[in-house]
Structure 1
């Protein structure tokens, strides 16, 4: 059904994308015959998502500042520029990979667009590799919010302006 977001089994090569990832999940939304490439899907999710997600990200950035963690826009320049707080590491029209490496964890998001002209879908896969106790604790704390955020962001692919 067009616009319905559902959790799916991840279908990526985690070893290639983020070797040693301890957390991988994926969500998919059907977009029908809409012509959207991976960058546009990511832009719709990240830049046109619900406002409450932006509030959560700003709160996260304030809370992690004392721990010297990266916040929005920090780090080395990304080969594909930035989409919101996500540095784009590589992209094709069908797949965009974004994410960064930090002292507590590394993460990647993968946006895949696939299907035929009449029945296309977008899949968002998240991979996380933790490095230490703080990274594992951080992942445990954000996991419940991650699922809610991912589902909400995916809904914006079909309805980009809310």
Structure 2
């Protein structure tokens, strides 16, 4: 069904995308005949995200400051620039990989676009590798919010980026 976001079994090679990942999930939405590539799909998700997602990111940035963790979008320049707060690490028209490594955890998002001109689907896969106790605590606390955020972002993919 077009526009319905559903959780699916991840189909990425975790060892290639983020070796040692302890968390991986994936969500998919059918976008019909929308002509978009992986960068455009990611841009639409990130830039059209619900306002409450922006508020959660701002809150997260405030809360992690005392722990010395990177704020969203901080770090070394990415080969493919930034899409919102996500450094783009690699991309083809069908797949975009973004994310960064931090002291507490490493994360990646993978945006895949598949199908033909009449029926396309976009899959968002998230992978996380924790690096220490703080990372494990952070992942435990953020996981319920992550699922809401991922679904919220995927629900906005049919809208052109602002």
Q: What TM-score, normalized by structure 2, do the two folds share?
A: 0.97
Q: Which residue of 2 aligns with 1:17?
A: 17
Cα deviations by residue, 1:114-160 (Å, 9 ceiling, x for unpaired): 01111100000000000111100000000000000000000111134
Q: Which residue of 2 aligns with 1:85?
A: 85
After the TM superposition, which residues 38-77 of structure 1 pair with which residues of structure 2 at under 5 Å, given as runs? 38-77=38-77
In 1: Cα distance, 2:146 partner to 2:74 partner: 21
Q: Which residue of 2 aligns with 1:156?
A: 156
Structure 1 residue ranges (4+ consecutive) displaced by more than 6 angstroms after TM superposition: none
In 2: Cα distance, 1:133 partner to 1:72 partner: 20
In 2: Cα distance, 1:82 partner to 1:10 partner: 24
3-state SS of the aligned residue for 2:62? helix
In 2: Cα distance, 1:70 partner to 1:101 partner: 9
In 2: Cα distance, 1:40 partner to 1:153 partner: 13
3-state SS of the aligned residue for 2:110? strand
In 1: Cα distance, 2:122 partner to 2:106 partner: 23
Q: Which residue of 2 aligns with 1:127?
A: 127
Q: Is 2:142 the counterpart of 1:142? A: yes
Given that 1:38 and 1:113 are in contact with CA atoms closer than 8 Å, whether structure 2 keeps it comes out as yes
Q: What TM-score, normalized by structure 1, do the two folds share?
A: 0.97
Given that 2:48 and 2:159 are in contact with CA atoms closer than 8 Å, whether structure 1 keeps it comes out as no
In 2: Cα distance, 1:146 partner to 1:73 partner: 17
After the TM superposition, which residues 90-129 of structure 1 pair with which residues of structure 2 at under 5 Å, given as runs? 90-129=90-129
Given that 1:3 and 1:30 are in contact with CA atoms closer than 8 Å, whether structure 2 keeps it comes out as yes
User: Number of aligned pairs?
Assistant: 162
Cα deviations by residue, 1:29-69 (Å, 9 ceiling, x for unpaired): 00011101101111111111101100000000000000000
In 1: Cα distance, 2:33 partner to 2:27 partner: 19
Given that 2:43 and 2:161 are in contact with CA atoms closer than 8 Å, whether structure 1 keeps it comes out as no
TM-superposed CA distance for 1:93, in Å, is: 0.7
